[in-house]
Each structure stands twice: as structure tokens, then as C-alpha cells.
A and B are shown apart, each in its own frame.
Chain A
């Protein structure tokens, strides 16, 4: 029977190739998308946790989903400075634009460079800090991957700006501009997204947080170390997106296998009649077709994984996208590919098993 399975697979190379491609596509969809979500999330969490401020102060409910609304009055900064244990503050504004590679989204931060640099340790390594509203600075990673250098053009707010400087290390977003320029571009004078708070004694950050909450109630006060542990992983819409990708790839893989096996069993009607004349049970016939579908699906899964790895390699070099593959998603993608293949083959297999033996034998 295994012989029958493999000989059938080899006999129809085009059909086999198409089915393999269908399953591989499903696997690529899952692995690349979850890899991107995982990679971008972790990358952003790493950069957010590296800002050097133990506490971030913002508007309730707004802080975990970055948006271009800047609801916080920068004058909260002065009030924060008066609270015991606060060493330094620095307001940060947000503008969200679609990524310049066309993929994903990109955050542009507006910062007051002196205070920001003191808290985060970000230093200009090339050029100088941006001074006008026509200038921005970028981190070295972006400079490297987008092949940008001091003096390069860059799109922000749909306008062409100049890269004035490159800073290091990577903290927060990858593009920064003067806060005042961001405010005027968004007509949000005196506003920001959040205020970074550096404390005098990191061991007492919990106490400082409580004091801030007491003095300035109604605001959100997050500890940077909590970002990415539970709360920070909840980017709105991500779960739905991942689920949609899963459903889509199951449908694609199952449908391709369904169509492939369906045409196959029609072509092989007489062979099914022969199996029946030899005394093969329905279970045996279903088994033959399922084995064939599973073998094709397995090849599709392997091909899909290889393509995903290559695509990830290319994407990471050509864009600032970061991908992280986890074993659990690779495993799930594999099981989904096999499961969808088995599912897609089920209907054709049952139809084959239920064919009338005499009619099948006289099929031309």
C-alpha cells in the first residue's frame, strides 16, 4: 500500500507540486505572521524596557496601544518633579505612520533631546541632534538596515525630512524628532503621549509609583519592568489577527488538498474498483487516500518551513522587520498543515470508498 501511495504521488508530479505548494503556503502564512508578531513585539518590548526610566506616566487606558493621540499635558512633568523620589522626567510624543517598507507600522517619537538623552543614555554617534521641524534622528539599526546616513531623506508625516543625526543605543522608537516639531505637526501644543520618569533609587520605584498615583489620581503609572510581562504583550487586535491567519491557512491548505484529491479519485475511479474487487474494505481505501494526502502535506509542511526561513532571512536584511520563530508556532504550523491535509482529503476519500464497485470497474 505504501508502494501504491508513493507511486501515485510520483505519477502525477504537477498535481503533487500544486498540492505541496498549497500546504506550504498555509504553513508560510502561519510561520511568517506569527514570527513577525513575535519578533516585532519582542523587539519593541526590548527597546521600551531599555529606556532607563523606571516609571512611565500617561493617560489611563491609552498607554498600551500606541496612537497618535497625545493626551498628556507636558506640565504634569513639573508636578512629577515635585514628588519625592523622582529624579528626572522627560515627555515623549507619539506619531504612528505606516512602515516605510509598506509593512507594519512605525512609531515616530517627539523628544526633548537633553532630558531624554540623560535618562536613556542615547547619544548621537554621527551628525547632530535634530533642531528644526525638518530634521529627525534615527537609531543605528535603522540606519544600517534602511541604508540611511546623515543627510539622507526620510518620510515623516508624509513629508520629506532630513536625517540630522544617528544615535545609539536603540531605545524607544527608531525615528525621533524634536517634541515641539511633533506637537506643531499634530496641532497638539503642550501635549505628549507619556512622560518618562527616572527615580533616585530604583529599589524604591514601587513607593514612588504609589506616591504619583496618590498625588495625580486618574492617570496611568506603569513600571517599565512590567512591560512585556503580561500587560505589554497585549497589543490590541493581535490575537484576532493571528486567529484570522490560522483560519485562512487551514482553509487554503484543506481546500487545495480537497481539490487535488477529488480530481485524483475521479481519475482513478477504475483503480478504486480494482481495490474493491480485491476485497479492500472502505477503511483500506480511505486509508490509501489519507496516506497520500498526509504524505503530500508533510512535504508541503517541510517546504513551507524552508521557504519561511529563507523569507525571514531576506526580510530581516531588506527591512527593519524582525522575525522570531518559536518552536511552539513551528510545531503548530506543522500540525495545522497535516491536519488540514487530512481534513481536505476526508471527503474525497469517503466518496471513493462508497463508489459502486461494478460501475467503478467499468469506468473509462
Chain B
């Protein structure tokens, strides 16, 4: 399979005072185009650290991170930001919508940043995304006027609206009740199938992990198994 994301011997060491924390100790991960991968593992095993590196929010201590043909480990901060703008969509546990903007405003902001001021998202993709996420009637609402599940769906719409190469989701259902979790997971699955969207999702919940075609297990900064 054609890998859209690949890490080679990824190492991340945080320095806290005089102590080194080895968050990642040589991670080799490969994700194919159009794959839906979930990542599981105990708290503190380095899942978020890895996701942040994959999305270019952090620079690894050593190793390679190849996203759609570009090695982000070699890049400057500004270059990583630019790659993130073009190729990555993030979804967080805490939704992270702009509270002062409507759902529509949140999407537009992402489109503006992605297009560097120009509008480059075509209307058809936009309509399709809103339809799949069932958000057509929610666009005028501000985050506080939406349920948690709806907020997360807006956040997913924001991540996918620019059709990034990869969506990176860090416990996207972690703040949702089981009903809303199910809806959000179902939608992620739909986006994966109908739009062939590559998704890497961290989760603590085995049921959530099950919607992904493949689950990667981590422990102590390493990948310890797959299913």
C-alpha cells in the first residue's frame, strides 16, 4: 500500500530540569492512503506526543516523519507550520472551537488560513462534508449553543473542509457521552469510507478503536503490537 504517513525510528525526549523523559523510543509507523488507524495505550505512553509530531506541532529529537512525501523532522518551525496548513487536520478531545465565532465562522477561519486569504474550498466538497456530518442547520450557532457532540462534529468539519492528507484526532470522543461518541465515530467512519479520508485516531476506548480498520498498541514510547 502507498504510505501517506511514515515514521522511522522516531525518538522524543523531553527535558524537565535535569531529568530526561523518554516519551518516544523509536517508533516506526506506516499509514496507507485512505486508512483509518486507531492508537491505543496506557496514559503517558506517548500517544499525544506522537500525534503532535505527526502534525508538526513538535519537532522530534531524532528520526524521520514523512507526511505525503515531505520529511517534517528536517524542517524549520515555519516550514512545519506550512506543511500542517496544507496537509493536516487536527481534532481534539476538547473540540477547540473559537467560542466567539459561529460554526460557519469557525469553518471560514480554517478555510482562510488554508487558502492564505483566498477562498479555495469548492462548494461541492463543503456541502458534502456538512451533509455527512449533518450540520446543515447548525452553521449559524455558536459553540456554546451546540451540544458536545455537535461541537465535535463542527470541529471535524473544520479539520476536513480543506481536504487534508491526514486527519489526526486525539481522543475525539473523550469528552462525549456514549450516544454522542457513537455518532461521532460513525461519522468519522463515513468520512473515511465516502471521502477516502486518511484518519489517525487516539482512543482509550476499545469500542471506539474497533471502528478503525487497524489498531496500533503503544507502551512506554514504543509500538508493541497491532491488530
Binding site for B on A (CB under 8 A): 1, 3-4, 7-8, 10-11, 270-271, 273-282, 284, 357-358, 361
Contacts and interface: CB of A to CB of B under 8 A. Distances in A.
Contacts of B135: none
Interface string B79-109: 0011011101010100011101100010011
Interface stretch (B51-59, B62-70, B199-207, B213-221): B51-59
B110 A11 contact: no
Interface of B: 52, 55, 57-58, 78, 81-82, 84-86, 88, 90, 92, 96-98, 100-101, 105, 108-110, 112-114, 117, 158
User: DSSP majority for the A interface?
Assistant: helix
Contacts, number: 67
A11 B82 contact: no
A276 B81 contact: yes
A351 to B, nearest CB: 15
A357 B96 CA distance: 13
Contact of A3 (B52, B81, B88, B105): B105
Given A1-B112, A279-B84, A279-B85, A271 B57 contact: no
Contacts of A271: 98
Contacts of A11: 100
Q: Which one of B58, B112, B114 has the greatest number of beta carbons of chain A within 10 Å?
A: B112
Given A278-B110, A279-B88, A4 B105 contact: yes
User: DSSP majority for the B interface?
Assistant: helix
28 contacts: A1-B117, A3-B101, A7-B98, A7-B100, A7-B101, A8-B100, A10-B100, A11-B100, A273-B96, A276-B57, A276-B81, A277-B55, A277-B84, A277-B92, A278-B85, A278-B90, A278-B158, A279-B81, A279-B82, A279-B84, A279-B85, A279-B88, A279-B113, A280-B113, A357-B58, A358-B52, A358-B57, A358-B58
B133 to A, nearest CB: 18
A281 B78 contact: yes
A278 B83 CA distance: 10
Given A278-B110, A280-B113, 7 more contacts: A4-B100, A276-B81, A281-B78, A281-B82, A282-B78, A357-B57, A361-B92
B109 A4 contact: yes
Contacts of A273: 96
A341 to B, nearest CB: 21
A278 B98 CA distance: 12
A355 to B, nearest CB: 12
Contact of B101 (A4, A276, A277, A280): A4
Contacts of A280: 81, 85, 113
B57 A277 contact: yes
Contacts of B88: 279
A11 B143 CA distance: 14
A270 to B, nearest CB: 7
Contact of B98 (A274, A281, A357): A274
Contact of A270 (B96, B105, B110): B96
Contact of B113 (A8, A282, A284, A361): A284
A356 B112 CA distance: 22
Give 9 nearest A-B pairs by CB, closest first: A279-B85, A7-B100, A279-B84, A357-B57, A277-B90, A11-B100, A274-B96, A280-B113, A3-B105
Nearest to B98: A271
B96 A277 contact: yes
Nearest to A280: B113
A132 B88 CA distance: 93
B167 to A, nearest CB: 12
B198 to A, nearest CB: 17
Contacts of B114: 278-279
Contacts of B117: 1
A3 B58 contact: no
A216 B61 CA distance: 91
B151 to A, nearest CB: 13
B113 A275 contact: yes
B109 A1 contact: yes
B83 to A, nearest CB: 8
B118 to A, nearest CB: 12
A271 B113 CA distance: 14
B109 A278 contact: yes
Contacts of B90: 277-278
Contacts of A358: 52, 57-58
A262 to B, nearest CB: 19
Nearest to B91: A277
B56 to A, nearest CB: 9
B148 to A, nearest CB: 17
A355 B182 CA distance: 35
Contacts of A10: 100
